[in-house]
Chains A and B, each alone.
Chain A
């Protein structure tokens, strides 16, 4: 059981570079999430997707774009990385349909440094 898989685990970018963080889940969950974690600020929601084909902004969406490629995959793209985007990024998924509403299952995180 892979659960939620994030790639890469570590990444260093130069200011202005772009990259995509990948996330895939194998639990047939409808909802997926991207969070960033900074010291003292907890987990802040960047974007979420309640179902395939839909995405919504969270608390801190500026500087990011997302794609819900299919039910399994939800990617996060930084078009022009900035030092302020240095953070640990977590992807999560959960079932939120009427019959089954679960907790969120998290990936292992991606530690991103922008220099």
Chain B
């Protein structure tokens, strides 16, 4: 079965610092999908990005950027100039061709003013 590892349990930064959240995955499938979700203190799950295994282009959306590297099985997420509102738990997830979708344990990000 596939596996997602988010080795950083908690990260604390000061506002305006850049921060990178790591995600490493394991899969035997050649077709798969990777996701990032944000869970703010209110508890809902907010979708951030989806990437399929055939698309290794990096993506930037405002202060958010994602670096997908198949060679290292990583899909890392960078927040530039962090803000207090970025404080949340961030989850990386992997779905293989059988539609099974597994999440990592999450990284709790705290941005201090």
Contact = CB atoms under 8 A, between A and B. Distances in A.
Interface string B65-102: 00000000000000000000000000101010011111
Interface string A19-60: 000000000000101010000111111001010000010110
Interface in A56-99: 56, 58-59, 88, 90, 92, 94, 96
Contact of A35 (B33, B43, B103, B105): B103
Nearest to A101: B33
Q: Interface size for chain B: under 10, 10 to 19, 20 to 34, or 35 or more residues?
A: 20 to 34
Interface of B: 1, 6, 9, 33, 35, 43-45, 47, 50, 52, 91, 93, 95, 98-106
A106 B91 contact: no
B43 A56 contact: no
A103 B52 CA distance: 11
Given A42-B91, A43-B91, A103 B47 contact: yes
A101 B55 CA distance: 14
- A contact face: mostly helix, strand, loop, or mixed: strand
Contacts of A40: 9, 105
A106 B44 contact: yes
A59 B102 contact: yes
Interface of A: 31, 33, 35, 40-45, 48, 50, 56, 58-59, 88, 90, 92, 94, 96, 101-106, 108-109
B35 to A, nearest CB: 6
